[in-house]
Structure 1
Amino acid sequence: MLRKIYDWTLSKADHPQALWVLAFVSFIESSVFPIPPDVLMIPMIIARPSRAWRIAAVALVASVLGGLLGYAIGAFAMDTIGDPILASLGKTEAKVIFDERFNDKGFWAVLIAGMTPFPYKVITIMSGATGMNLTTFVATSILARGLRFFIVAFLLWKFGAPIREFIEKRLGLMFTLFVILLVGGVSLLKFL
């Protein structure tokens, strides 16, 4: 089933209304949809590099707005909607741990999930469920998703199709390593 959803999403990259489809996918991916917007962004930018920044901006705005939907699910419908979504992702046990420590580290959780392969929707829902400060949530979402989408756009704009395999297979790892270095650097500064 996931493969069918992936193939459907990828097929929309050539659609005449691809930007609207990207906005829709970016919006729902932030709260319920399993396929990341990158699947659409990559072929769209390769086909029209001059639109790379517009494509990244659409993904960013729609993703943050979708993140607000995830936040609302967590805040107002955790029992009826949020818990089943987390259960389908196999993250039910993580909820207990998140509830205890989330708001102390909420900025970092949103930043990490927004940039890495960790499902951003889990963090959007948990942010609402734990009552994370909404301003912090939105600002961090803009930072994280903006970095992710605009770095992808820049790489494709600059290097074109040859960078596609790197982005699809290794960029998640690169973002993860970047976040680890960032967190490690900030932690190290606390001790100096």
Structure 2
Amino acid sequence: MSWFRNLYNWVLSWAQTKYGGSFLFVLAFTESVFFPIPPDILLIALALGASQKAFKYALICTLGSVSGAFVGYAIGNYAWLTDSGEFSAFANFFFDTIPGFSIGLYESIRSLFVEWDFWVIFTAGFTPIPYKVFTVTAGAFDINLAMFALASIVSRGARFFLIAWLIWKYGPSIKVFIEKYFNLLALSATVVLIGGFVLIKYII
């Protein structure tokens, strides 16, 4: 996996340039469609370098990610299936290149959307689950666009602004904590949140 480490280091190197904010937007945008490196790592590096701009970087990251999500949705909606209902060459490219994204997973996601709709996108956007898989499949399954937009804005914004707030509040001392435990805490918080709504659903 040396190629992945090299890619990771290349992404981080942008934090040392005057184009760091612009590249953060591009990174967040492409990660929502196909890029394997999450924008969090560059967001953390930029915010640590200028904590007074942490929330500005979080906004840039959110705008880039949500913009990319709409592109992913459009790809799924218009380029995922052929007129005969078969997977297109583009869909097969995704299956072949994105780790873990199989036809079986695709069908499983269909069931999740039927049952949970908003919460599927929210979970993918807030937790370490690959967001790109869900932006594309949301379009392929023709999920309500307004709901998709709301879930994307809320989840991506919550994730990136929480990271920015932690760095703004605690500075470099929080970096190791974010890198080691943030994803686990985000996943746990999402489980608790969704669990609460499920409980309310069955009680009422």
Fold conserved (TM > 0.5)?
yes
Give the deviation of 1:82 after TM superposition. Answer: 3.4
Give the deviation of 1:4 after TM superposition. Answer: 1.4
- Identify the residue that residue 90 of structure 1 maps to in structure 2: 100
- Identify the residue that residue 52 of structure 1 maps to in structure 2: 54
Would the aligned equivalents of 1:82 and 1:125 in 2 still touch at CA under 8 Å?
no
Q: CA separation in 2, counterparts of 1:119 and 1:161?
A: 27
Output aligned runs, 1:20-169, within 5 Å: 20-78=22-80, 79-88=88-97, 89-92=99-102, 93-169=104-180
Does residue 1:175 correspond to 2:186, yes or no? yes
Q: Aligned partner of 2:142: which letter?
A: G
Q: Aligned partner of 1:167: which letter?
A: I
Give the deviation of 1:43 after TM superposition. Answer: 1.1
Output aligned runs, 1:7-22, within 5 Å: 7-22=9-24
Q: Aligned partner of 2:74: which letter?
A: A
Percent sequence identity over aligned pairs:
36
Q: Aligned partner of 2:162: which letter?
A: I
Give the deviation of 1:156 after TM superposition. Answer: 0.4
Greater mean alpha carbon deviation, residues 85-94 or residues 60-69: 85-94
Would the aligned equivalents of 2:112 and 2:120 in 1 still touch at CA under 8 Å?
no
| SS of 1:110 mapped into structure 2 | helix
Q: CA separation in 2, counterparts of 1:96 and 1:16?
A: 43
Alignment deviations for residues 119-146 of structure 1 (CA, whole Å, 9 cap, x no partner): 0000001100100001100110000000
| SS of 2:35 mapped into structure 1 | coil
Aligned residues: 192
Unaligned ranges ≥5, structure 2? 81-87
| SS of 2:136 mapped into structure 1 | helix
Q: Aligned partner of 2:8: which letter?
A: Y
Q: CA separation in 2, counterparts of 1:107 and 1:100?
A: 13
Instruction: Report the TM-score, using the length of structure 2 for normalisation.
Output: 0.91
Greater mean alpha carbon deviation, residues 104-113 or residues 18-27: 104-113
Would the aligned equivalents of 1:113 and 1:123 in 2 still touch at CA under 8 Å?
yes
Greater mean alpha carbon deviation, residues 22-31 or residues 81-90: 81-90
Give the deviation of 1:97 after TM superposition. Answer: 1.8
Would the aligned equivalents of 1:106 and 1:127 in 2 still touch at CA under 8 Å?
no
Instruction: Report the TM-score, using the length of structure 1 for normalisation.
Output: 0.96
Alignment root-mean-square deviation, CA: 1.1
